[in-house]
Amino acid sequence: MGGKFKQDKVLTAIVGSFPKPRYAYPGSWDDLIDSMGAVFDDGEQRFGKREFKRRLDRAALWALKNQNAAGTDIETDGEERRGHFVLSILRGLGGFDFKKIQKVVIRDVLERPVPTCTGPIRYKGQIVVD
């Protein structure tokens, strides 16, 4: 391999998301999963768009400060701005009907509600980046 980069330690990072602080999402984890993340998205209606964004920014900063204090090498926002790790992405794509729900078994043990793919999957615009 070219270059003079020498890595002398194993880099650390988190995998997954930080818990949602009560000020950003007061509901339970079960509600978040069972609603396919929709109850999280209702935070905009619950708090108002500007206030909800402020709370999510505060939660992301909290996640970053915790990772920094722990000495994590590669930090993230803790995925504080999304309700469900997969379905929040699907909500930003065309071709999925969130009113036509079906149940699927995940990891051979968990039954979860999911939207139905009703047509070609298409990009509608930015999903994760504000």
**With a threshold of 0.85, does the pTM exceed it?**
no
Q: How many domains does the chain have?
A: 1
Tell me if 1 is assigned to some domain: no
Which residue segment(s) compose the domain that 61 sits in? 29-123
Tell me if 7 is assigned to some domain: no
Tell me if 106 is assigned to some domain: yes
Is the pLDDT at 13 greater than 60? The verdict is: yes
Tell me if 64 is assigned to some domain: yes
CB atoms within 10 A of CB 44: 14
The per-residue pLDDT for range 24-73, each reduced to its tens digit, is 988 887 887 777 777 888 888 999 999 999 999 999 999 999 999 999 99
Tell me if 68 is assigned to some domain: yes
Q: Which tops the pLDDT comparison, 32 or 120? A: 120
Q: Which tops the pLDDT comparison, 51 or 126? A: 51
Tell me if 36 is assigned to some domain: yes
Give the CA distances from residue 20 to residues 25, 32, 59, 61, 97, in Å, rounded to whole numbers and listed in that order: 6, 10, 7, 12, 26
Give the CA distances from residue 122 to residues 20, 38, 114, 117, 127, in Å, rounded to whole numbers and listed in that order: 30, 21, 18, 11, 12
Tell me if 73 is assigned to some domain: yes
